[in-house]
Amino acid sequence: MKIFNPRKGIGTALLLCIAGMVQSQDLHFSQFMNNPLLTNPANTGFNPDYDYRVGGSYRNQWWSLPVPYKTVSLWGDMQISRESIPNGWLGIGGVLLNDVAGSGGLTSTKMYGSIAYHQELGENHLLSAGFNLGFASKRIDLQSFKWENQWNGKFFDSNVGSGEDFAYSQVGYLDVQAGLNYAYFPNENVYFNAGVSIMHLNTPRESFFSEDVSNNRIPARYTAFANMSVKANEQWIISPNIYYSQQAGASEIVGGLMAQYNLSGGGETQVLGGGYFRPGDAAIAMVGLEWNATRLTFSYDATLSNVKNFNNGNGAIEFSLVKFGAFSMRTPRQSRCPAF
């Protein structure tokens, strides 16, 4: 391993700082429930009440710092083979992710295709297994950095090289994930779901340096979650959630609940509100509106960690839009989850 020399340049220090921060968080959303394919590939087509879903999210984190994160996701999935698989079906889907961080324009772009198999076990249980394969690309604008050896005593001379050992300004690699899901439907008023997944199963190499200088590999990321929905009455559905993720020496846990309030007789219009907590990091407030199977959700992360001393407590804002739908040629099915 090459030993970092602090005299090599402030640009390298900034780059390593940004790269380390990005690796530690590995592209995430506070609204994990609105990004199901990112949470677990077994969630692909895991939607007992509808035939398809399409969604998107936007997250702007730490916008008051010099190195903010802006993350966008677009995803969709659908069910197939319901008629040919007894008491089961396949789910297919895809995800597109884009993330930009820092003044150096560290940009991550990831594309995944996923497939999952869902099998009903009796009338009250559902077991799922999923897998996805994707391509990830990271690039950085090295020209936007200023390096110590470019300082001539008066200004930074951009005509002078960085003096660093960069071999690439862009890298790409294949990425593999897998997961399992279990759901329990004891009756029409209660639903429980839990799952586990492994991301970066192939621990791909990711480095802007040549292999003899750095053989950095992305460590596997382990994720577990549990969701529950309880229909209290014809006006309220309460949904507690918890999410845990661990990668190398870093871990994250998010827990809280969301409540849905029925504004119309059949539940076509609902308002949503909830709160979540990420210990040691942030408190998350969430509000939303659902109208004709289209859900818009907004959340705000208030920073609780020491970072609040630098970002004025401005953690992150996040928007999610999800559309649920059914194919008209299929026979309408009875809801398996609590619904108005």
Q: What are the tens digits of pLDDT across the range 139-150? A: 887 776 777 777
Percent of the chain with pLDDT over 70: 83
Q: Is the pLDDT of residue 211 over 70?
A: yes
Asked which of 2-6, 14-18, 43-47 is least confident by mean pLDDT, the reply is 2-6
CATH number of 10-325: 2.40.160.40
Per-domain boundaries in the chain = 10-325
Enter the tokens of residue 167: 């071999």
Looking at residue 334, its pLDDT comes to 56
Query: Rounded distance, CA 245 to CA 220, Å?
Result: 11
- Find all residues with CB under 8 Å of 298, minimum gap 6, and list them: 286, 287, 288, 317, 318, 319
Dihedral (CA of 301, 302, 304, 309) sign: positive
251 and 243 Cβ atoms separated by less than 8 Å: no
How far CA 289 is from CA of 51, 57, 216, 262, in Å, comes to: 21, 15, 43, 10
User: Where are the strands (E) in the chain, listed by range?
Assistant: 52-61, 69-80, 88-101, 106-121, 125-139, 170-187, 190-199, 221-231, 236-247, 250-262, 269-278, 282-291, 294-303, 314-325
Closest CA to 186 of 231, 120, 123: 123
Q: Is the pLDDT of residue 93 over 50?
A: yes
118 band by pLDDT with thresholds 50, 70 and 90: very high
Looking at residue 306, its pLDDT comes to 81
Looking at residue 19, its pLDDT comes to 40
Interval 12-35 mean pLDDT: 59
Q: What are the tens digits of pLDDT across the range 224-261? A: 999 999 999 999 999 999 999 999 888 999 999 999 99
* 316 Rama class: left (phi>0) / alpha (psi -120 to 50) / beta: beta
- Mean pLDDT score across all residues of the chain: 84
Looking at residue 17, its pLDDT comes to 41
Query: Rounded distance, CA 142 to CA 139, Å?
Result: 9
Q: Is the pLDDT of residue 121 over 70?
A: yes
Q: What are the tens digits of pLDDT across the range 290-334? A: 999 999 999 999 988 887 777 676 778 999 999 999 886 665 555
